[in-house]
């Protein structure tokens, strides 16, 4: 690991090579600082398209990009693949799984992790989708369950294998349930001639009265209509109380038999130890001032999903979306240079470019300020924006080709079970035990 004797310039350590972290590192290119990026993965993940990996439209490498490759033309950049466990700001040292790492300036850009809101049964059996690995697990499990359903003789026995429940009606849940419904509508009977389309049911469960609550009412209404047209059963005002891996239970006493619950109902900031609890606000986010400096810390900054700038205009912080993280990352790089040059720093001002979500082929909803549109044109806009936002020329080309093939053939191609996803409920474990003994 780098030691103090190899240091010439102040060292800026960035934890997290996500949307925010990479912008800080890029912004410090050719500046008189040593940039050290740390991430537990060796790649950046384009999370907005994870659902397409989970549903077999894209392969995992199309939405990930190696961090070393991204910065190979930046001489002041170094990368270490490591998990940061704790921050010791008194000594300006990080505790990591590859040993201590010192910093002059620290940027916490660790993003968010899945929030199960303390429901342990859900956490144990529902599947989150925050990383490439989790998306690949979902793909495997969906396919494994369809395979397994064929071994059941009665429709009743098959039910739990072919009921797919997506919880959380935000953009992720809407996109994921729409994509699974398209598999049901266009692929199921082609790949599995023994099954009928009606054998599979896709549910989208939302606790609020409408899906896409952060978008305009028009967008919500249209998204719900599109989902219903695809055959998704949209359940609104439903609170999940428990899930035992075989049935999901709701506050109204209802339950659905299902082995597959995909959880996209919430996130919370992912914070290494060492941050004063008083600085941690709603959603487990670190409160910063308007220059992204962590409250009460001098040389420590936080950006993106893990952070919150609380003002009158933003009482809950900024939304947890990629443009916020990117814009904060760019500003912070500038501010670090200003600090080094003893110049005043700038405050963060979010430029909101709008929100969008797609719901299957030819259908999307877009809100850009007061401009709102839905349908085919919105879908093109959604595709263009996502394609252009992907990191890496190869990824853009591969994704574009995959989309064209999927569009023309109605047949997204990457339905592979590379690694079996193993998850046993207590009942299944007991049955397996019985079979051994």
Ligand X SMILES: Cc1cc2nc3c(=O)[nH]c(=O)nc-3n(C[C@H](O)[C@H](O)[C@H](O)COP(=O)(O)OP(=O)(O)OC[C@H]3O[C@@H](n4cnc5c(N)ncnc54)[C@H](O)[C@@H]3O)c2cc1C
Task: Write out the catalytic residue numbers.
Answer: 175
**Binding to ligand X in span 4-23, by CB under 6 A:** 15-21
**Paired tokens of 134:** 């989790």
Q: Which of 14, 24, 27, 48 binds ligand X (CB under 6 A)?
A: 48
Measured in Å, how far apart are the chain's first and last C-alpha atoms? 51
Residue 354 engages ligand X in binding (rule: CB under 6 A): no
Q: Could you give the angle at the alpha carbon of 178 between the alpha carbons of 421 and 114, nearest 5°?
A: 50
Report the nearest approach of ligand X to the CB of residue 37 (Å). Answer: 9
Considering only the stretches 69-77, 213-221, 300-308, 425-433, report the one whose residues sit in contact with ligand X under the rule CB under 6 A: 300-308
Closest CA to 333 of 7, 12, 9, 10: 12
Q: Which of 57, 137, 140, 172 binds ligand X (CB under 6 A)?
A: 172
Q: Which residue is nearest to ligand X (CB)?
A: 18
- With 0-12 / 13-18 / 19 or more C-beta atoms within 10 angstroms meaning exposed / middle / buried, residue 388 is exposed
Q: Which of 38, 167, 179, 183 binds ligand X (CB under 6 A)?
A: 38
- Of 188 and 306, which has the nearer Cβ to ligand X? 306
Helices (H) and strands (E) in the chain, counts: 13, 25
- Of 48 and 317, which has the nearer Cβ to ligand X? 48
Give the H/E segment covering residue 257: strand 255-257
Report the nearest approach of ligand X to the CB of residue 322 (Å). Answer: 4
Residue 269 engages ligand X in binding (rule: CB under 6 A): no
- Of 129 and 162, which has the nearer Cβ to ligand X? 129
Question: What would the x/- binding string for ligand X be over residues 365 to 404, using CB under 6 A?
Answer: ----------------------------------------
What residues contact residue 322 under an 8 Å CB cut-off, 6+ apart? 19, 47, 48, 389
Residue 286 engages ligand X in binding (rule: CB under 6 A): no
Considering only the stretches 38-46, 215-223, 240-248, 412-420, report the one whose residues sit in contact with ligand X under the rule CB under 6 A: 38-46
Sign, Cα dihedral of 396, 175, 42, 138: negative
Report d(CA 222, CA 218) in Å as an integer.
Answer: 6
**Binding to ligand X in span 90-109, by CB under 6 A:** 109
Q: Which of 26, 40, 80, 255 binds ligand X (CB under 6 A)?
A: 40
Report d(CA 99, CA 102) in Å as an integer.
Answer: 10
Report the nearest approach of ligand X to the CB of residue 266 (Å). Answer: 11
3-state secondary structure 342-397: CCCCCCCCCCCCCEEEECCCCCEEEEECCEEEECHHHHHHHHHHHHHHCCCHHHHH
Report d(CA 21, CA 233) in Å as an integer.
Answer: 38
- Of 171 and 360, which has the nearer Cβ to ligand X? 171
Contacts to ligand X by CB under 6 A: 15-21, 38-41, 47-48, 50, 83-84, 109-111, 129-130, 171-172, 270, 272, 304-306, 320-323, 325
């Amino acid at each position: 690991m780098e030691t103090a004797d190899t240091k010439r310039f102040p060292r800026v350590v960035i934890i997290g090579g996500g949307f925010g972290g990479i912008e800080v590192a890029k912004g410090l290119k050719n500046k008189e600082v040593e940039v050290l990026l740390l991430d537990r993965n060796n790649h950046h993940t384009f999370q907005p398209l994870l659902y397409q990996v989970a549903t077999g439209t894209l392969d995992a490498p199309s939405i990930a990009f190696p961090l070393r490759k991204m910065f190979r033309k930046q001489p002041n950049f170094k990368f270490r693949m490591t998990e940061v466990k704790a921050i010791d700001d008194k000594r300006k040292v990080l505790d990591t799984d590859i040993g201590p790492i010192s910093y002059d300036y620290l940027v916490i850009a660790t993003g968010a992790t899945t929030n199960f809101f303390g429901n342990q049964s859900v956490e144990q059996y529902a599947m989150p989708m925050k990383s490439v690995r989790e998306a690949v697990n979902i793909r495997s499990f969906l396919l494994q369950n369809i395979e397994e359903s064929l071994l059941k003789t009665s429709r009743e026995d098959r039910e739990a294998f072919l009921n797919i429940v997506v919880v959380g009606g935000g953009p992720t849940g809407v996109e994921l349930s729409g994509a699974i419904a398209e598999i049901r509508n266009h692929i199921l009977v082609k790949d599995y001639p023994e099954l009928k389309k009606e054998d599979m049911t896709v549910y989208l469960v939302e606790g609020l009265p409408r899906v896409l609550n952060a978008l305009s009412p028009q967008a919500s209404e249209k998204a719900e209509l599109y989902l219903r047209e695809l055959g998704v059963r949209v359940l609104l005002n439903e609170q999940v109380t428990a899930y035992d891996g075989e049935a999901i239970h709701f506050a109204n006493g209802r339950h659905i038999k299902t082995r597959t619950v995909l959880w996209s109902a919430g996130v919370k900031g992912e914070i290494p130890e060492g941050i004063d609890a008083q600085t941690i606000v709603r959603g487990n986010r670190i409160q910063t001032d308007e220059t992204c400096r962590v409250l009460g810390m001098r040389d420590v900054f936080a950006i993106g999903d893990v952070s919150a700038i609380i003002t009158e205009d933003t009482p809950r912080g900024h939304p947890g979306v990629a443009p916020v993280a990117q814009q904060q990352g760019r500003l912070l790089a500038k501010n670090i240079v200003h600090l080094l040059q003893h110049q005043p720093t700038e405050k963060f001002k979010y430029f909101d470019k709008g929100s969008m979500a797609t719901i299957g082929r030819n259908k999307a909803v877009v809100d850009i300020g007061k401009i709102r549109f839905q349908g085919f044109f919105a879908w093109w806009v959604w595709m263009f924006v996502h394609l252009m936002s992907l990191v890496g020329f190869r990824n853009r080309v591969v994704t574009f080709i995959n989309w064209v093939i999927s569009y023309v053939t109605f047949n997204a191609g990457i339905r592979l079970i590379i690694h079996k996803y193993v998850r046993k409920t207590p009942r299944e474990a007991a049955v397996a035990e019985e079979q051994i003994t």
